[in-house]
Amino acid sequence: MNAQEVRAILHAHGLRPRKGLGQNFLLDRKALARIVRAAQLSPDEIVVEIGPGLGALTEHLVRHAGHVVAVELDERLLTILRARLGHEERLHLVHGDILRVDVPQVIRAHVSPPEPVRYKVVANLPYTITSPAIRHLLESTPPPERLVLLVQREVAERIAATPGDMSLLAVHVQFYGRPRVVAHVPAGAFYPRPKVTSAVLEIVPHSMPPVPAEERALFFRIVEAGFHQRRKQLRNALAASLGLPKAQAEALLLAAGVEPRRRAETLSLQEWARLHAAYRERDKQGRP
């Protein structure tokens, strides 16, 4: 599809792209091929597409995967999709908000897969819901085996950051999986043209989380405390946000092998996990 064809399809249905739903349709063949290649699909696999839009990416996915479950919020686009791709037997079009959908359940409802459900997620994500959508997907049970997402370049780079440039968002995503920026996609690859450059982001979930699931809330409480005043040294940030005397915050950091004057953005996932373990240990010993 080129921009003219997209405009013609929308025009024929009396529609305009909805900014609020992040409707920037992908036109560029190279970018479409790059996304599909990054997904490493095989003919027996299930892929979930978020926001199929007019079906540019969906057409490719149907050719490479066993089943495509495509979840679209805009009912108007589903009408177009049914007309364009309704004949594809292995395409399952679902009306819904991805943030409210239990993805494995939707797959079970349409495909009857063997358990545990195995699937991948591929999407040109509406930029309006990037962070909550990634988090929702990574917290699914079971999570996808691989996510390939087209997102704003700046967000992709923030998510795939390394110690020195870490943010709360990077820790949140890297807690669940290993992110990597696969390719950059220029604004001219879309209709309508967005204001920013995009990037293809791959996330491969870990087989084992860095801390057990039941410890997740405490782990993130500590990370959020560290980032609460991100320009502060960790000993001060943790003391202020966790309500600890400074000496105790320092002792915790030293027990975790983290120099107390470091700042939150310099810590790796392993260091946050060690800090969490040191905090748990302190709790067990009944310290105030």
- Which of 41, 57, 244, 264 binds ligand SAM (CB under 6 A)? It is 57
Query: Considering only residues 6-35, where is the footprint of ligand SAM by CB under 6 A?
Result: 21-26
Beta carbons of 119 and 45 less than 8 angstroms apart: yes
Strand bridging mode 120-124 / 177-185? unpaired
67-75, 159-167, 181-189, 253-261 -> range binding ligand SAM (CB under 6 A): 67-75
Q: CB under 8 Å to 71, separation ≥6 — which residues?
A: 48, 49, 50, 51, 52, 94, 95, 96, 98, 101, 106
- Which of 48, 77, 155, 156 binds ligand SAM (CB under 6 A)? It is 77
How many residues touch ligand SAM (CB under 6 A)?
23
Is 52 a binding residue for ligand SAM by CB under 6 A? The answer is: yes
Q: CB under 8 Å to 270, separation ≥6 — which residues?
A: 210
Rounded to a whole number of angstroms, the minimum distance from the CB of residue 35 to ligand SAM is: 9
- Which of 33, 83, 99, 247 binds ligand SAM (CB under 6 A)? It is 99
Q: Got the DSSP string for 202-249?
A: EEEE-SS-SS-GGGHHHHHHHHHHHHHTTTSBHHHHHHHHHT--HHHH
Rounded to a whole number of angstroms, the minimum distance from the CB of residue 10 to ligand SAM is: 11
- Which of 36, 38, 47, 71 binds ligand SAM (CB under 6 A)? It is 71
Residue ranges that bind ligand SAM, judged by CB under 6 A: 21-26, 50-53, 56-57, 71-74, 77, 97-99, 124, 126, 129
